[in-house]
Amino acid sequence: MKKSILFLFICFWFLNCEDTKKSNQTIEESTVEDSLKGTVTDTTKVTKKSSQDTLQPLVNLTNATLEEFLLAYGQENPERFVRLETTEGSIQLELYENTPLHRAHFIYLIKNGYLNTTVFHRVVTNFIIQGGNSDRMETARMRGKMGKYTLPAEIIHRHHRGALAAAKEYRENPDDRSAAFEFYIVQSPSGAYHLDKNYTVFGKVTSGMDVVDKIAKLETDEGDWPLYNVFIKAVLEK
């Protein structure tokens, strides 16, 4: 009898560990309400806008209007190189031309100033760092003004180390449409190839993986939130 109870306990513990592991290997969009629990620190160094920053007006988008807007926006805004300045250092990114909707949308988030209100709000060592959200009211207000929509999947590239990809909403999302505001960078040295068929990779890190590694190693709470805020300032480069 005692052996049976012990066996059942071991099985329950193993399954629980497997569920925890699997939950850490998916990339869901977080809500503003579920966001950071970290201590707010001085953001002047990171969020101060340079003279090249010219904010564009927000557009309230829907799934019905999104593609037409982004195709036109992408033609007018062909930039592909981005620098993310953070409190831990800078990360240089290259956006792929063959994921045109995601490239255009990321540039849109930069040019309207949204990313500068956000942080890296989830880090999992040997997996990913995830950004594009915060617990700041400014972030929530901008999301409300931009509308509730998701991006059509453009699943082409693989999740190599350094891949830049879009998070995803899981509720009623059979077409693997991307979440509008959150992105992640693969930090695992062996990649994250189990995500390949379900998430859109739309760029890669060209410099600054040491910074990605540093962020991934930050101390977090039980929800993978860093104990202090890693603010983001997104800058377009030529």
Q: Does residue 179 contact residue 106 with C-beta atoms inside 8 Å? A: no
Q: How many domains does the chain have?
A: 1
pLDDT, mean over the chain: 85
pTM for the model stands at 0.83
> Tell me, what's the pLDDT at 172?
81
Q: What is the pLDDT of residue 43?
A: 39
Residue 20 lies in a domain: no
Is 149 within the bounds of a domain? yes
pLDDT band of 66, cuts 50, 70, 90: very high
Asked if residue 23 is part of any domain, the answer here is: no
> Over the stretch 49-62, which tens digit does the pLDDT of each residue have?
443 445 888 999 99
Q: Residue 114: inside a domain, yes or no?
A: yes
CA 47 to chain centre: 18
Residue 65 lies in a domain: yes
171 pLDDT tier (thresholds 50, 70, 90): confident
| 127-141: b (≥16 Cβ within 10 Å) or e | bbbbbbbbbbeebbe
Q: 127 is in which domain, residue-wise?
A: 29-237
| Residue in the structure block whose two tokens are 């998701």 | 150
Quick check: is 9 in a domain? no
Residue 69 lies in a domain: yes
CATH code for the domain in which residue 87 is found: 2.40.100.10
Q: Is residue 7 part of a domain?
A: no
